[in-house]
Structure 1
């Protein structure tokens, strides 16, 4: 008899009570997800995360006292570290890119539907990137502003990619397309566990902290369009 997957523990951080209430109501009715705590600012979120050890932290970018941008790194420095998903709105691309560069696992629009919210929490808990389709292209474009890398930068990029095997480059290219592990496995005809192994090797060999940063690297290197 197979063992059921562990319950995904979620921490909410948003200064708007109505937002927290709405998100909690959606998640508490989803199988295998438990909201273990709520914070009204980033400092409280870090303190609660250290105590409650959530798997996923949903963090608003704009909060008083300590905003979401200043909260990503302290959350990711915890042991164990939660996956951090930023809650955002349209028109906030600059702040989103800063959060992603700081190690956030992805971003989710506040007006996404219940199914997308639940999917995002489960994806983050399993190590997949969470990228809202409505703004992914805009954010990647914003992160890559400035045109193609200079010659020295191109050399540095190739040096980072040099340790990768051909299969790891294939996986990296699909990370750049924003695909989750299951779809990468289907596209390449390999097991999901093998994909996870390749993703771990990619992050380690390229010195990237998250799948999102690896996806950006894939675009910078021209592996993904």
Structure 2
């Protein structure tokens, strides 16, 4: 019955809304997360990196080509709805790389309130909530960004670790303590941002911390 309801809902959704491939913009069927042509470019295995501090990070895509285009549209061209489609591949990577791990909470790298007001949404939060829904794990806002620093992509790689120090704070230490946490972001480049978020959570005596991003930058 559940499968039938989902199928009916998908048909209704497809009738009223045009669904486009987040990687190329082609119209796709409402039950698909991308077009067949783009699917052929997907890496067979997740890409694994380590954020600052040695925290493992899984990503389904390199930050290049159609995947870079998808991220830029998602972040800067009012395509927040892509989160539902993009998160499917993130979950695939999570289940592959972290198949022997269990998480209590999914959270995201927070955005400063001024930046959030300008953009209208935090792309990392949208991805994290979709990943949490697909995984059946609770989502929680665990950190707040209290300082508006320079954007990481605007400064040299060597300066990025220093740029994120002291900009994040825990919201509720009691919620963090003892929890196994999965942190979500859109891109990992040097790993400084994810590493700093993980460091703050670790100071609150959480359990294991792992990370997942949509893309990983192979060239720093």
TM-score by structure 2 length? 0.25
Which structure is richer in relative contact order (CA contacts within 8 A, separation 6 or more)? Answer: 2
TM-score by structure 1 length? 0.25
Q: Which has the higher strand share?
A: 2
